Structure formats: structure tokens, C-alpha cells
Amino acid sequence: MKLVAIETSTPASSVALGEGRTPVGSASQVNRRGHASFVVSALDFLFDQAGWRPSDIDAVAVDVGPGLYTGIRVGLATAQGLAATLGVPLVPVTSLDAVALEATTRHRHIWSVVDVRRGEFAVASYQPVPGGVVRDGAPQLVKPDHLRALLESDSQNALVVGDWEALPETVLRGLHRIKSGRPRFPSAEAVLGLAAGPAERGEFPAAEDVRPAYLREADVQINWKQLRKEGPWSA
């Protein structure tokens, strides 16, 4: 099964082509404002290098977040447009799962962290298992002090991956059982790895059910509500 994977939920953008879980080619860049200009040109390059045609694709995998609002929109819109044009299904993947999958550990409990700005972080915890990871529960949107409390309550040796460098120093200070490591950002190759299983089993959600996983309202909606509250037309 031939797949395209698109990842744009963080400052790092990446795309990949794969035969099932096996990457055929990938490209990436780190530029918070460069998602849109990168994705299409990178896909064109990869198709050319692999000798593939778009009509060869069986499914499109995409990271739906959480992460940067604009980046998520770019990736999802590109994936939806490509899937609709080719008449193939979409496979959604979360950024937290993609980060955890590539964590550099075989035995530590994993905490995956994605900076969603405004002092909040999306987090989820995982147990490593042969060939991958298993998430312990639903992703959460937390402030740094809440994340500190979660880490303090973790009785296992743990590894924090993802945007841990964006955390205040006080979050990890003194937690000697907690280590930090790579990767910092999710990758399209990890998206490919997560999507391959469901795609091979034919587990595809309805296209209209593939939506962004913001974990909160988009900034533009929140700002609009604030303007309504503070503007001269408010009650």
C-alpha cells in the first residue's frame, strides 16, 4: 500500500512517501511560517525522486494536531484536497502520538509534549511496547504547573519528549527520575508509521469526521469573542 504522509502541526513541516510502514522518501524543514510554501513543492520533489505518480497513492495520512493553528489548517487542507482529487481515504494521526513513537527509549514511561502557545501545552503519556507505544489516556491541555504535578505523581522513570525546551525551567527542576530527550517535533515518517496499520486494515474514518485536534478553540475565535465582550456593541 502506497501512502503519502503530511506533518505541519508544529514549526517543523515534513512530508513522506511510504510503502506501508517503510519510507520511500521524506523531506523536512523548520519554519513556523513556511508550511504552505513547503508542502506542495516537497511532495512534487518526492514524487519525482521516487518515480511515483499521484494516481499510485492508496491513502493520505495527516497529522491533525494538537499544535499550531495555522500549521494544522495547512496540512489538513492539503491532505483533504489531495485525497479528494485522487479519490482515496484519509488517515488522521495526532502529533503527540507521532512524537512519542520516535522517543529514544525502550523502557521509560514517555511524556509527549507539544507547545500550543499562550502558556499552554498539549501532553499525553505512553508506555513503550514492542514495535511502538501505547497511550495511557486522552491528551490533556495543561499549564506548566499542572504538568509539573503530573510528572511529580509519575512513579516510574520517565522521559519527556517534544517541546520540553519551551517549558519553564521550574517544570523539570529537581525531578531526578525524569529525563528529557528527542524528538523535539513530530515527523512525517512517524505519521506514516502510525497510519500504515489502520490503512492496511481498511480502518478509514468518514472524510467529514477528519477534523483538527486543537484541544481548544482557535485563537481567532477566542479573540473575536473577546472583541465582542469589550466592544461598544456588547450588552
pLDDT in tens, the chain (235 residues): 999 999 999 999 999 999 999 999 999 999 878 888 899 999 999 999 999 999 999 999 999 999 999 999 999 999 999 999 999 999 999 999 999 999 977 789 999 999 999 999 999 999 999 888 999 999 999 999 999 999 999 999 999 999 999 999 999 999 999 999 999 999 999 999 999 999 999 999 998 899 999 987 655 444 434 434 544 433 3
Query: How many Å apart are CA 116 and CA 218, to the nearest integer?
Result: 10
> What's residue 228's pLDDT?
45
Cα separation, 196 vs 91, whole angstroms: 9
Element (H, E) at 206: none
Q: Is the pTM of this model over 0.75?
A: yes
Residue of 197, 169, 100, 87 whose CA lies nearest to 139:
100
pLDDT at position 217 is 63
Q: Look at residues 1, 180, 197 and name the one whose alpha carbon lies nearest to residue 88.
A: 1
DSSP lists the bridge partners of residue 91 as 61
**Distance between CA 57 and CA 183 in Å, rounded?**
28
Residue extents of the structural domains in the chain: 2-94+186-220, 96-181
Q: How far is CA 133 from CA 9, 44, 98, 112, in A?
A: 20, 32, 10, 11
Q: Are 2-94+186-220 and 96-181 the same fold in CATH?
A: yes
DSSP 172: T
Spatial distance between the Cα atoms of 159 and 29, rounded to a whole number of angstroms: 25
Q: Which amino acid, residue 174? A: G
Fold adopted by 96-181: Nucleotidyltransferase; domain 5 (3.30.420)
**Looking at the domain that runs over 2-94+186-220, which CATH code has it been given?**
3.30.420.40
Instruction: Please state the three-class secondary structure of 9-53 as a single string.
Output: CCCEEEEEEEECCEEEEEEEEECCCCHHHHHHHHHHHHHHHHCCC
Q: From CA 74, how far away is CA 90, in angstroms rounded?
A: 15
